[in-house]
Structure 1
Amino acid sequence: MKLKEVKLRHLKMTMKAPFATSFGSFQDKEFILLEATDELGNTGWGESVAFEVPWYNEETFKTNWHMLEDFLIPALLNKEITHPDEVNEIFSSIRKNNMAKSTIEGAVWDLYAKRNQIPLAKALGGEKKKIEVGISIGIQKSVEDLLQLIEGYVNEGYKRMKVKIKPGWDIDVMRQVREKFPDILLMADANSAYRLSDIQHLKQLDEFNLMMIEQPLASDDIVDHAKLQAEMKTPICLDESIHSLEDTRKAVELGSCKIINIKIGRVGGLTEAKKIHDYCQEQGIAVWCGGMLESGVGRAHNVALTTLANFIMPGDTAGSSRYWEKDIITPEVVVEDGYITVPENDGIGYAPDLAVIEKYTIMEKTYQ
């Protein structure tokens, strides 16, 4: 397989409602959509999950465009690729920039599956026909608004509620949620809003029977998380701290967490995500697939990855209609009673809607 042409599109989509976390609030999502064409005319699609502002990690929309244009696309154009795993090796001399790497690596995986006339899920080794999904709920204007939202999602069949927390919006909020919904699968996501000095405060979360608390401490930490996990009954899940299989190994050996959130973009692509999944399965560490407010293309990659056996907890891959008035794929990702049916078509399984993509496109550039 050879990439003969790569097209980058700058898209801007507006979510149905603002999404608020401990590090900010936004409603417009600008991102890179990548289309790669091979020597046979097949097309593969990838999506950058980097935000405009470096509040999740150091990568941004602009840095991803720069890395793709000046380094990653030139490294792959017209190069013979037998298997997508080789992309990791080709990029090995380029430090970090995982979200940029994942953007084009995902398109290569899509192409590989299409050339072999199999779904991406099967190409990755997945076997599930349906995946169980939860919902991620941003910080709301009031607890009443939050409780109303959760009730609606429970009625829609979502299997797990992830509630964003921050200092001043945490213990009392989770207490009220648990009092109203005593039996739901519930977790808290702190997005690195706390420090180890908050240990006594965070231990109060133990009374709410949470599935986990996600990334409570610094985004680059695994040492203090180990100290916190030793004091808490609630399992800690690491997100921002995990960029590779090596990070995962160190965190597990230190006892920094009991659960790992695998995000394709954060770890540099599907190949590394699969390695992390396999290692965690061997170590008895549960994993689940996190979301980055993706459009349908990124969402489709998440669906495929979640078909692997050790994704035993509901992920963040909600239906398209949760965020968008009109997604960029057909059919859109649909949740029925808390499950997404895995598509059986070749590649990512969903067809990019070129007319809708054109509507959202601000600019595009082609590389040959």
Structure 2
Amino acid sequence: MKISGIELRRIRIPLRAPFRTSFGTETERDVLLVRVATADGEGWAECAAMSEPRYCSEYVDAAQDVLRKFLIPALPKDGIDAHTVGRVLEPFTGHRMAKAALETAVLDAHLRTTGESFGSYLGAARDRVPCGVSVGIMDSVPELLDAVDGFIAEGYARIKLKIEPGWDLEPVRAVRERFGDDLVLQVDANAAYTLVDAQHLAKLDDFGLLLIEQPLANDDIVQHARLAELLRTPVCLDESIESAADAAAAISIGACSVINIKPARVGGYLEARRIHDIARAHGIPVWCGGMLETGIGRAANVALAALPGFTLPGDTSGSSRYFATDITPPFELADGHLDVPTGPGLGVEPLPEVLEEVTTSTEWITI
């Protein structure tokens, strides 16, 4: 497939409410969209990098810069397909979120030409997926309980509470006491603890949690293996898993019994599928994480979450969880599920009038 040019478009969308985690508070999303233009059409993708390098080392300005200076110029001028993109970009260290956006846009353009859906191409086994919701750190427990009550009323299949030192046992206990043992509940620490906190984290075992996500630092796989021996609650890795090789290593030493697969964090949906395949072969359940995506990124995540190994509800919430107005037709929750798009490629496109309203800059790069 020959690419004529690539557009890098920045958009800015306010969140419906501030979203606080152990590494910071988001009030809006500064998003980089990648549009690949070919003779037969176009393909879209969303870069999940955030404004500041807090979740990981990547941030949106750097993603645009590395795409402009290195990744896009590396594409062969005589044509390329999605499977080749990863090999072409491999010499460049890191920048997985930028690489994922470029690979996904190329894949979307290709699939739109062939008429195949993203889900079908990846190997989706379902036409709808159960959805969980991530609840940020709040100013008070009553505020948290009100938020959780609202999400349960909307039908979400699982509640995830963000935690950090000083905001862990009390809010988890309050949610469990208020909503009962039948609520599917998990927590996410975003690497906020150390192994010194093991005895404290073990107190979470009393609450019957589905899992505890990334309690220790992202480069602490060995310590996670030690922590897993000390907890009854299953340990799930997120930031620690940046590739299929990482997943295989973590599984081999017992560092996790669940994996959160974020396609952007691992370099794209093809690598995400490889992680899914490795985990499934070892009987390790996986679920699809989220990065406050718009409808472009959400469409791809929902398609991935329909693969057979994704047996736990992911952070694939409806559009209204974060945005009053999405840039695509909104994803709407029905009985705790989202439908997997069936149209060619991602199956969604930006709404031109909304896209124009939220765009802050555009940059065109000729191949």
The TM-score normalised by the length of structure 1 is 0.97
1:31 Cα offset (Å): 1.6
Q: Which residue of 1 aligns with 2:17?
A: 17
2:173 to 144, 164, 175: 175
Distance 1:339 1:76 in 2: 38
> Does the Cα contact within 8 Å between 1:127 and 1:309 map onto a contact in 2?
yes
> Does the Cα contact within 8 Å between 1:159 and 1:185 map onto a contact in 2?
yes
Distance 1:272 1:135 in 2: 24
1:287 Cα offset (Å): 0.3
1:145 Cα offset (Å): 1.0
1:163 Cα offset (Å): 0.3
1:365 Cα offset (Å): 0.5
Superposed counterparts of 1:176-191, under 5 Å: 176-182=174-180, 183-191=182-190
Indicate the SS of the match to 1:284. Answer: coil
Q: Which residue of 1 aligns with 2:358?
A: 360
Distance 1:141 1:252 in 2: 36
Distance 2:155 2:192 in 1: 30
- One-letter amino acid of the counterpart of residue 87, structure 2: E
Indicate the SS of the match to 1:194. Answer: coil
- One-letter amino acid of the counterpart of residue 360, structure 2: I
1:361 Cα offset (Å): 0.8
Distance 2:217 2:154 in 1: 34
Distance 1:86 1:75 in 2: 11
> Does the Cα contact within 8 Å between 2:299 and 2:340 map onto a contact in 1?
no
Distance 2:205 2:78 in 1: 53
What is the root-mean-square deviation in Å for CA atoms of aligned residues?
A: 1.0
- One-letter amino acid of the counterpart of residue 96, structure 1: G
Q: Which residue of 2 aligns with 1:43?
A: 42
> Does the Cα contact within 8 Å between 1:4 and 1:77 map onto a contact in 2?
no
Q: Which residue of 2 aligns with 1:3?
A: 3
Q: Which residue of 1 aligns with 2:277?
A: 278
Q: Which runs of 5+ in 1 are unaligned?
A: none
Q: Which residue of 2 aligns with 1:73?
A: 72
1:119 Cα offset (Å): 1.0
Q: Which residue of 2 aligns with 1:308?
A: 307
1:216 Cα offset (Å): 0.3
Task: Report the number of matched residues.
Answer: 365
Are 2:108 and 1:97 equivalent residues in the alignment?
A: no
- One-letter amino acid of the counterpart of residue 112, structure 2: K
> Does the Cα contact within 8 Å between 1:186 and 1:211 map onto a contact in 2?
yes
> Does the Cα contact within 8 Å between 1:13 and 1:29 map onto a contact in 2?
yes
More deviation in 353-362 or 157-166? 353-362
Q: Which runs of 5+ in 2 are unaligned?
A: none
> Does the Cα contact within 8 Å between 2:30 and 2:60 map onto a contact in 1?
yes
Distance 1:2 1:232 in 2: 52
1:79 Cα offset (Å): 3.9
Distance 1:138 1:348 in 2: 28
1:77 Cα offset (Å): 5.5
Q: Which residue of 2 aligns with 1:219?
A: 218
More deviation in 13-22 or 343-352? 343-352
> Does the Cα contact within 8 Å between 1:161 and 1:185 map onto a contact in 2?
yes
> Does the Cα contact within 8 Å between 2:43 and 2:106 map onto a contact in 1?
yes
Superposed counterparts of 1:287-302, under 5 Å: 287-302=286-301
Give the 4+ runs in structure 1 shifted more than 6 A: none
Distance 1:362 1:13 in 2: 10
Q: Which residue of 2 aligns with 1:121?
A: 119
More deviation in 25-34 or 72-81? 72-81
1:86 Cα offset (Å): 1.6
Are 2:342 and 1:344 equivalent residues in the alignment?
A: yes
2:83 to 85, 90, 115: 85
- One-letter amino acid of the counterpart of residue 124, structure 1: L
Distance 1:85 1:225 in 2: 33
1:148 Cα offset (Å): 1.1
Are 2:161 and 1:153 equivalent residues in the alignment?
A: no
Distance 1:28 1:126 in 2: 31
Distance 1:28 1:156 in 2: 23
- Residue by residue over 1:104-149, the C-alpha shift from the partner in whole angstroms, topping out at 9 and shown as x without a partner, is 1111121121111011100111121101100000001111111111
1:52 Cα offset (Å): 1.1
1:291 Cα offset (Å): 0.3
Superposed counterparts of 1:240-255, under 5 Å: 240-255=239-254
- One-letter amino acid of the counterpart of residue 360, structure 1: V
Distance 1:277 1:79 in 2: 32
Distance 2:76 2:105 in 1: 13
- One-letter amino acid of the counterpart of residue 44, structure 2: W
1:39 Cα offset (Å): 2.3
Superposed counterparts of 1:258-273, under 5 Å: 258-273=257-272
Distance 1:113 1:236 in 2: 36
Indicate the SS of the match to 2:226. Answer: helix
Distance 1:218 1:230 in 2: 17
- One-letter amino acid of the counterpart of residue 163, structure 2: I
The verdict on how the C-alpha distance between 1:34 and 1:149 changes in structure 2, with shifts beyond 3 A counting, is same
The verdict on how the C-alpha distance between 1:144 and 1:227 changes in structure 2, with shifts beyond 3 A counting, is same
Indicate the SS of the match to 1:105. Answer: helix
Q: Which residue of 2 aligns with 1:107?
A: 105
The TM-score normalised by the length of structure 2 is 0.98
Q: Which residue of 2 aligns with 1:137?
A: 135
1:176 Cα offset (Å): 1.0
- One-letter amino acid of the counterpart of residue 340, structure 1: L
Instruction: Give aligned-pair identity as a percent.
Output: 44
